[in-house]
Structure 1
Amino acid sequence: MIRQGELVEIEIQDVSSDGNGVGKIDSQVIFVPHTVTGDRILAKLIKVKKKYAQGRLEKIIHPSDNRIRPRCIVADKCGGCKWQHIDYGHQLEIKHNQVKETLNRIGGFTEFEVEEILADTDLAYRNKASYPLGMSDNGNIKAGYYREGSHQIINLNQCPIQDERLNPLLAEIKQDLQELGIPIYDENTKKGILRHLCFRIGKNTGEILITIVITKPSNYKLAQQAPLWLERYANVVGVTLNYNPRPTNVIFGEETELLAGRLYLKEEFAGLTFTLRTESFFQVNTNVAESLFTWVIDELNLQGHETVIDLYCGIGTLTLPIAKKVQKVIGIEFDKIAIELANHNAVINDIDNVKFMEGKSEVIFPELTTDADVVILDPPRKGCQPEVIEALLKMKPRKIVYVSCHPATLARDLKMLCENNDYRLERVKPADFFPQTTHVETAVILQSTTTH
């Protein structure tokens, strides 16, 4: 029988959905972070339960062929990336298997194919970065990501997964903030002003927004500094302040103030022009998102006469490209700023067959009197509310497109949609929006079993 504190030698046989290596001693499952399938390791057991144990990697006895040298010098400390030690090809294999296994285990699906995972570059892909700010022991400003499992900031001057054009801004603006002498917010005392340093870049246009999150509205020193950043960096088109006074882990507050330039950047996506703000949602991996949305549109084989409803539509990232292919689209989104941007994006792209509605999908969608040929779902990680599932089964659109960032809630919702044979699982396409992490995006197309 294994005991807490014991050193054990194990072989890692798999990788769990939360990214930890999985090994066994007799019938006891052992989870060990920072390992990969094929590693032979020495681990110290730090928690032992009846059915499983958690271990800490002490030594790699024999490395797996899937193990590589991390390309980030703080990969063993920073919580931003969990899989820097895993060969990218194997990362894709793990994610592909995760989607298949979860749809089977939770969804109960048995006869289906998971298509090849969409992927692009495994580094320099993020078009947005939000760095919490802190103070080091010697009084210097820190900006970076939290150490895994804590709120201790790992100080960064560059990050290999963010767009390379943002790296010079991180180090230099951090130094500017140091010289301005504005107090840094302390999570423990709830005192201070500066909370986060945020960047967003248009992957295809190069336009950049700088946003500082603060606890108090307006700031004279930052107002004076903002035009200097605009002058120094040719690609920076706007500097904004976001006001978030709440003691919360949520990064952005509800109010944003323009300091210099404009509130938004322009991005080219799926053949259209989009305006984005730092605090509005947009997929962080532009290239793979565009590939996935193109796949969705191609697979729908739209003929031009269809009516489409897009739930959780955001700024219209998928709504507007689809509007170019159909007769009518309705987009529903809870976030007020996203709706404003969606309407603006429709106007600048001369798209007039789309209607955006502000509100919760679970409230608006069940009350719609419009029938749809296709309904698109792109909910947050928690998945769809029961009211949405019930309304879908009542409306019975010919096809449902479900885009998900969480295989478990995807499988749960698909099971409810398909369990009475109202729909069948037609296509499953995973996409790697988040290389070096455990997260995977999946697009699923459901086909109604009723002839329309």
Structure 2
Amino acid sequence: MSGPTPPLPPPVPLSRSVAAHCGYFDAGTCRSCTLLDQPYDAQLAGKQREVAGLLPPLEWSAPVASTPAGFRNKAKMVVGGTVDAPTLGILDATGSGVDLRECRVHAAGLHAALPVLADFVTRAALTPYDVPGRRGELKHLLVTESPAGELMVRFVCRSQEPVARLRKHLPWLLERLPVAVASVNLQPAHKAVLEGEREILLTDHTTLPMHVAGVDLHLRPQSFFQTNTAVAARLYEQAAAWTAEVAPATLWDLYCGVGGFALHLAAPGRSVTGVEISPEAVRSAEHSAAALGLDGVRFLAGDATAYALDAAAPPALVVVNPPRRGIGEQLAGWLERSGVEHVLYSSCNARTLAADLGAMPSLRPVRGRLLDMFPNTHHYEVLLQLSRG
């Protein structure tokens, strides 16, 4: 990346209505969108109050709102029912499939793709996995849509038995949907784990380009990516704006995933290191950096805390984007005593964020912003800038 940091676009306007009249919610079939019966501006204000109440006093920018419907770029669908009448959605209390392919939170491309994928299940004779009976093959369909409208489709199966049929019938699917990447994920275990370790690619393309805030992030099948592309763009833009003000010569992106922060914060003359435990995500980040022709950016597969503890010297700025459990005592303790001047902390859990802040009192929260990645739920993302002193 080069040139000045572009100004942030204006906040997304707030909606004063619920996301939609959802028949699933009204019937009690699915209650995943726990706040759906609240006006959206009330949802957002409630999240802001909760976060501000959990954290020390600081300067808050206006929260970034999401569109209340059609925002989700990934569908995680449990496959139930039968070969001839598959369901794509969730399981009820008895383990039977509940079809949710009309769910309003999915982006338009996903909404259009799910009926075609249900037909494909029948065409390829993919037997849905029967959880109570512990038989069948197809457990989940995981579908991601890029901003360009391309799809990544992953079939989570119990074994390799359906792979030959999937290959045989894949041309039918490619004629009907803009599938860039298709794969089979093997999950043989009978337990509540979404996917397994082994991935079998069915297409020549191995990555799905996600164009976010001017950067193409190349997503591989097992790589994590934020499920709200528009709000993820605002997150990276905000981080870039705050980083430009302090102009660090060296920067670490810990828990970097596919390199979202690292690649958006890269600049001429700046040394950037991303660290991520998932080798798949690191390969994605390396692919993106190479495609962008970035110098001074590298990615390492490893534990973020171990990397920091073993480092000879700290950078000028550290970005941390941990899972819900937070960064923990070890890494927070290292940040406290390291002398690092600036930290950007991106969190999806203000309670663990508050605990981590308590372990590094020399790094003072200066300003923050709530970004509503997950409308209609209690979940959110919050970005804080911390400075020493």
Q: TM-score, normalised by structure 2?
A: 0.90
* SS of alignment partner, residue 403 of structure 1: strand
Name 2:367's counterpart in structure 1: 427
1:354-365 equivalent positions in 2, closer than 5 A: 354-365=297-308
RMSD: 2.1
Q: Does 1:159 align with 2:159?
A: no
- Structure 1 distance, partners of 2:227, 2:233, is 11
* SS of alignment partner, residue 101 of structure 1: helix
Q: Which has the higher strand share?
A: 1
Q: 1:267 aligns with which of 210, 223, 227?
A: 210
Q: Does 1:73 align with 2:18?
A: no
Name 1:390's counterpart in structure 2: 333
**Does the 8 Å CA contact 2:239/2:261 hold for their aligned counterparts?**
no
Q: 2:377 aligns with which of 416, 421, 437?
A: 437
- Structure 2 distance, partners of 1:332, 1:279, is 16
1:127-206 equivalent positions in 2, closer than 5 A: 127-135=73-81, 140-146=85-91, 153-203=97-147, 205-206=148-149
Q: Does 1:318 align with 2:254?
A: no
Question: Structure 1 residues 389, 68: CA separation in 2 closer, same or farther (over 3 Å shift)?
Answer: closer
Question: Structure 1 residues 252, 387: CA separation in 2 closer, same or farther (over 3 Å shift)?
Answer: same
**Does the 8 Å CA contact 1:307/1:329 hold for their aligned counterparts?**
yes
Report how far residue 153 of structure 1 moved.
Answer: 3.9
Report how far residue 160 of structure 1 moved.
Answer: 0.9
**Does the 8 Å CA contact 1:266/1:273 hold for their aligned counterparts?**
yes
Question: Structure 1 residues 79, 280: CA separation in 2 closer, same or farther (over 3 Å shift)?
Answer: farther
1:299-378 equivalent positions in 2, closer than 5 A: 299-302=242-245, 304=247, 306-324=249-267, 327-378=270-321
- Structure 1 distance, partners of 2:210, 2:123, is 32
Name 2:50's counterpart in structure 1: 98
Q: Does 1:121 align with 2:72?
A: no
**Does the 8 Å CA contact 2:276/2:282 hold for their aligned counterparts?**
yes
Q: 1:407 aligns with which of 337, 345, 350?
A: 350
Q: Does 1:291 align with 2:228?
A: no
- Structure 2 distance, partners of 1:151, 1:335, is 31
Question: Structure 1 residues 151, 100: CA separation in 2 closer, same or farther (over 3 Å shift)?
Answer: farther
- Structure 1 distance, partners of 2:360, 2:243, is 19
Alpha-carbon displacement from aligned partner over 1:141-179 (angstroms, at most 9, x marks no partner): 1111356x8865431232211111111211121122134
* Higher RCO (C-alpha 8 Å, min separation 6): 2
Question: Structure 1 residues 270, 68: CA separation in 2 closer, same or farther (over 3 Å shift)?
Answer: closer
- Structure 2 distance, partners of 1:404, 1:72, is 29
**Does the 8 Å CA contact 2:370/2:383 hold for their aligned counterparts?**
yes
Letter paired with 1:292? L
- Greater alpha carbon shift after TM alignment, 265-274 vs 369-378: 265-274
Q: TM-score, normalised by structure 1?
A: 0.78
Q: Unaligned stretches of 5+ in structure 2?
A: 1-15
Report how far residue 192 of structure 1 moved.
Answer: 1.7
Letter paired with 1:389? A
* SS of alignment partner, residue 144 of structure 1: strand
Q: 1:83 aligns with which of 21, 27, 35?
A: 35
**Does the 8 Å CA contact 2:365/2:386 hold for their aligned counterparts?**
yes
- Structure 1 distance, partners of 2:62, 2:358, is 22
Alpha-carbon displacement from aligned partner over 1:279-331 (angstroms, at most 9, x marks no partner): 31111111111112211221233465510011000111110111126510111
Question: Structure 1 residues 101, 153: CA separation in 2 closer, same or farther (over 3 Å shift)?
Answer: farther
Q: Which has the higher helix share?
A: 2
% identical equivalent positions: 27
* SS of alignment partner, residue 260 of structure 1: coil
Q: Does 1:223 align with 2:167?
A: yes
Question: Structure 1 residues 261, 160: CA separation in 2 closer, same or farther (over 3 Å shift)?
Answer: farther
Question: Structure 1 residues 305, 180: CA separation in 2 closer, same or farther (over 3 Å shift)?
Answer: closer
- Structure 1 distance, partners of 2:268, 2:37, is 43
- Structure 1 distance, partners of 2:107, 2:140, is 18
- Structure 1 distance, partners of 2:18, 2:128, is 37
Question: Structure 1 residues 283, 114: CA separation in 2 closer, same or farther (over 3 Å shift)?
Answer: same
- Greater alpha carbon shift after TM alignment, 84-93 vs 269-278: 269-278
1:18-97 equivalent positions in 2, closer than 5 A: 70-75=20-25, 76-97=28-49
**Does the 8 Å CA contact 2:59/2:367 hold for their aligned counterparts?**
yes
Report how far residue 220 of structure 1 moved.
Answer: 1.6
**Does the 8 Å CA contact 1:265/1:275 hold for their aligned counterparts?**
yes
Name 2:154's counterpart in structure 1: 211
Question: Structure 1 residues 326, 80: CA separation in 2 closer, same or farther (over 3 Å shift)?
Answer: farther
Alpha-carbon displacement from aligned partner over 1:70-96 (angstroms, at most 9, x marks no partner): 522101321331122111111111111
